[in-house]
Structure 1
Amino acid sequence: MSPITIALLAVSMSVDAFAVSVGRGAAAGRPRFGEAFRTGVVFGVVEAITPLIGWAAGVAASKFIQQVDHWVAFVLLGGVGLHMLYAAIWKKEEAAPTDSSFVVVLITAIGTSLDAMAVGVSLAFLDVNIFVIAAAIGLATLVMSSGGMLLGRLIGYRLGKVAEILAGLVLIGIGTNILIEHLAG
């Protein structure tokens, strides 16, 4: 996987956390840097761990589905991308939780990282360094969550929706590219 693809994947995986952080920042009024950074660290660590869990599950299952692994990657990435598009376009906006306790932030981080676990499963079928990808996802999520929380009051929810639409399209594109590369040769 090229560095550009890894960067696109990392940013795409961090968009849910960014959108939630924008909402948290908007709801908090004027969040402090320390609170935004702490939120970013929690989101980043969780977002880095979940693709590793998914990858491990995918590696365990790869022996059984090796003949169709490209289709599995395509369906998982495409499915996550379509879900992101659906959530951004048609789902009603929910208020972001304003409680900044560690437990609430952790639960929110887990909720926004489940798509990264599915992506981790799809990465098990590719020749990639999962640790580099997980670190990139974690770092991107830390930066985007912290920044999203600080920008939340200024930009509101709109930018979060646009970013989620773009991320969904990127994931669909990566999944389609995997399928085309396999079918072409």
Structure 2
Amino acid sequence: MDLLFTSVFIGIGLAMDCLAVSFAVGGHQKSSRLRAALILALFFGGFQSGMTLLGWLLGSGFADAIAAFDHWVAAGLLFIIGGKMILDGIKDGHEEEAPDIFNLVAVLILAVATSIDALAVGLSFALLHITPLIPAFIIGLISGFFSIGGVFTGGKVGHLVGKRIDLLGGCILILIGVRIVLEHTIWNGNGV
């Protein structure tokens, strides 16, 4: 699996929650947009990277014990995360309320909430024996850029797409899960 290519697509998939929140902030933020964008980029990007690393650390302890079927577990986690994102996008397609991102507690809660999926991705990296430093950096960087873009385009684009952006993120994560299964079964020559 091309690690950089896959990391970029995982980063895009995980950044969709950050983008949706950033749209809401940008749509309601009349002043201090730059400050709001930088705060979200720092917290969302930092937490996405940190949770990826934490998931990898947690998963490293038992990765060898499930080595025979680790690709199924990793793909299953991506299917669950992607499926949840798709369901959220379908049932909750309206524009979100803008959180108070100048309140530290509110930003921390949002950063944790938008990065829980990265914890599961980090666990998948451990199961696939992938060193997470570069992917975690890429995931955080993409989330940071998407957060900045979301704040600045929130008033124009956010009201059109709202949470439906999660549909795209969910589809990307599911496709990566399919790729993992195919690489460890059919494309590897081992059969299913």
Query: Does residue 52 in structure 1 map to residue 53 in structure 2?
Result: yes
Match of 2:98 in 1: 96
Q: Which residue of 2 is the match for residue 116 of structure 1?
A: 118
Comparing 92-101 and 16-25, the one that deviates more:
92-101
Once the two structures are TM-superposed, the CA of residue 161 in structure 1 deviates from its matched residue by 3.3
Task: Give the superposition deviation at 1:5.
Answer: 1.5
User: Which amino acid letter does the alignment assign opposite residue 152 of structure 1?
Assistant: G
The residue that corresponds to 1:150 in the other structure is 152
* 1:24-103 pair list within 5 angstroms: 24-91=25-92, 93=94, 94-103=96-105
Matched to 2:78, the amino acid is: L
Contact between 1:28 and 1:98, CA under 8 Å: does it hold in 2?
A: no
Contact 1:51 1:118 in 2 (8 A): yes
Number of residue pairs matched?
A: 185
Q: Does 1:131 align with 2:147?
A: no
- 84-93 vs 167-176, which deviates more? 84-93
CA distance in 1, matches of 2:162, 2:42: 19
- Is 133-142 or 123-132 further displaced after alignment? 123-132
CA contact (8 A) 2:100 2:106 kept: no
Aligned to 1:124, the other structure's residue is in SS state helix
Structure 1 residue 41, shift from structure 2 partner: 0.7
Corresponding residue number in structure 2 for 1:179? 181
Deviations 1:123-179, CA, capped at 9 Å, x for gaps:
112242300000001111111111101111121233343432111111001111111
Does the CA-based 8 Å contact 2:26-2:33 persist in structure 1? Answer: no
Per the TM alignment, residue 105 of structure 1 is displaced from its structure 2 partner at its CA by 1.0
User: How far off is 1:118 after superposition?
Assistant: 0.7
- Taking the aligned partners of 2:137 and 2:64, their CA distance within structure 1 comes to 26
- Deviations 1:64-106 (Å, cap 9, x if unpaired)? 2222101101110000000000000113644231352122111
Q: Is 2:48–2:115's contact at 8 Å kept on the other side of the alignment?
A: yes
Q: Residue 9 of structure 1 corresponds to which residue in structure 2?
A: 10
SS of 2:130's equivalent in the other structure is coil
Using the size of structure 1 for normalisation, the TM-score is 0.92
How many Å separate the matches in 1 of 2:184 and 2:15? 27
* Distance in 1 separating the partners of 2:109 and 2:162: 20
**1:132 partner amino acid:** I
Shift, 1:30, TM fit: 4.6
C-alpha separation in 1, matches of 2:130 and 2:66: 18
Gaps of at least 5 residues in structure 1 are none
Q: Which runs of 5+ in 2 are unaligned?
A: none
Q: For residues 147 and 73 of structure 1, do their structure 2 counterparts lie closer, same or farther at Cα, with a shift above 3 Å needed?
A: same
